[in-house]
Amino acid sequence: MKEYQSKFLLQMHNFHKIKFWSLVPELNPSEHMLVFALCRCEAGKCGEFSDDLDIKLPEMKGVKVSDLAKAVRMTMPGVSRALAGLEEKGIIERRIDKSDRRNTLVFLTEDGYSKIREYKKRINKYFETVFERFGEDRVAEVIELIGELSEIAQEELQKELIGSESMQDGRAVSEDKIKDIHQ
């Protein structure tokens, strides 16, 4: 089993190094994450991973900057920098929330909406080609196997942290820390 550990970790590392965001060279990685998180939040799937980005521009209600930061797990200064870049590129605009002036809402611009649809087409075409080359049945099998492996890995990590009363810096691992592992 030990020989699989190294091979598995290497392949996970190699897969992680694939820069999918480079399909959209107009955006840096942070901007890429934020703009797609904005679409997911607008579609009611904030904090989830979803391929459903079918939003309608006139129906946009805007997303709080703080909600975007939580969805992508970035600091507020990091989010502000990325939003400034997206705003400069004309993809988003920020507006003060009329119902609570303490909040800032983020919206796609018309140009941004068009660009996101184009970016999504590029990404879909890329994955379609990759999956076609690999084989649909094999892709489905890999997805299922990785899903099962992820569940087992999370369960075992939770057992290890809770069951053995694992310590970090002399303190027991908190429930919040364990929740972070699952997200």
Token look-up 């094999």 returns: 138
Per-residue pLDDT averaged across 42-53, rounded?
Answer: 64
pLDDT at 42: 80
Question: Per-residue pLDDT for 182 more than 70?
Answer: no
Per-residue pLDDT averaged across 114-131, rounded?
Answer: 91
Q: Is the dihedral of CA 159, 165, 171, 174 positive or negative?
A: positive
Confidence of residue 138 (pLDDT cuts 50, 70, 90): very high
Neighbours of 36 (CB within 10 A): 23
Of residues 157 and 46, more confidently modeled = 157
pLDDT at 117: 87
Confidence of residue 49 (pLDDT cuts 50, 70, 90): low
Instruction: Please tell me which of 36-50, 111-125, 138-152, 168-182 the model is most confident about, judged by mean pLDDT.
Output: 138-152
pLDDT at 173: 55
Q: What percent of the chain has pLDDT over 70?
A: 81
Neighbours of 167 (CB within 10 A): 10
pLDDT at 64: 92
pTM (whole model) above 0.75: no
Instruction: Measure the CA–CA gap between 181 and 158, rounded to whole angstroms.
Output: 8
Question: Per-residue pLDDT for 165 more than 90?
Answer: no
CATH number of 19-134: 1.10.10.10
